[in-house]
Structure 1
Amino acid sequence: EPVQQACKLIKAKYPELVIITDVCLCEYTEHGHCGVLQNGCTVNNDETLPLLAKVAVSHAQAGADMIAPSNMMDGYVKAIREALDAAGFNHIPIMAYSAKFASAYYGPFRAAADSAPSAGDRKGYQMDPANSDEALREVALDIEEGADIVMVKPALAFLDIVQRVHETFNRPLCVYNVSGEYAMVKAAAEKGWIDEKRIVMETMLGFKRAGAKMIITYHALDVAKWLQGK
């Protein structure tokens, strides 16, 4: 498996790095959905859970320092937490993709990774962008099941959700600044329409202002350079 092999190689060469792995099934299935399909069109949530737990344990065995399940199955955090604990990895934290919306902002990544579902969509298990109350319920469930860090994804169009999660729950909060958000900035910068550095840093400040303690972003290398004054 590529993720497990990568974990082992990275740990061997750069033992000081913290490795966080995405646990999902979509990249390993022909249909592109995040779980086991039944009747060719519906994801079977309960049959998917033990597979996710098995993958999570294999990542920890390969050297992952944190597990970040992104599949949005009901009960996924509990299943993974119990499996990690049973395998002796009770010290491995879980960063749950707690409020993950069925969004058009994932488009560039899905095109690059060829990971879009071959039929249907993910609205059955990812969230409706119009429903903010559901996001808080999902976050609460993940915390109850053992999530150490919770996430809102995408970030830019959902800063109201970020702020509500920050104000409601006493948990470290991560935002995922996804490919569509990144691509729009890069495309506009290439056209000369915006000041890329100022736009990106203003966006990062917006994430922090809304309550994010961690930011996952494709802009990371540029932000690190700019913060160093380069």
Structure 2
Amino acid sequence: MIGRIRGILAAKHPPEIVVDVGGVGYEIQVPMTTLFQLPDIGTEVSLVTHFVVREDAQQLFGFVSEVDRRLFRELIKVSGVGPRLALTLLSGMDAREFSRCLQRDDVASLVALPGVGKKTAERLLVEMRDKAGKWLGELSPEMATTVGVAPGPAPDDAREEAEQALVALGYKLADASRLVASVDDSGASSEQLIRRALQAAAPRSQR
């Protein structure tokens, strides 16, 4: 089991990053809530991780917060929720925001995320309230973090990378293109576009 990775951030290809540890590059899937908090490429980074082994693949998922990893692990225990959908959920909201959904029975915010239907959202609220309701309810507003985003690639490349990241999270290409186009402005990095697109996709109750 790989529980933590510390090394040099070598590349960002949302939702995947590469961390160089002693000359070995680890490909790690991260939710957007983690991606937005990462330092510049070439800087040391430390992530808590969850290792998934399947017959056809081995995947490493990374998080800047132990709370987000704990939530990820609880999410994948829910029937019908695999690692990819859990990653999508944590890309659309962090643990603190998910806690609010539990407290408010907020089905709408969950259904707004790609791949989450009404039945899945309702099952998530019921099962997660039993499994994680207590410790999620203890999360404080101070957990919210605002982190500056480093300058990204050229605008055309940024738009394409943002669209690809949204598709990887479960959005249809047409929807991803529409969301990115609706928030695009000159000089925005791919991470800025992804953040804005996810905010635009969220229902008003979550903003």
**Higher relative contact order (Cα pairs below 8 Å, separated by 6+ residues):** 2
Q: Same fold per TM (> 0.5)?
A: no
TM range (shorter): under 0.3
Normalised by the length of structure 1, the TM-score is 0.22
Larger radius of gyration: 1
TM-score, normalised relative to structure 2: 0.24
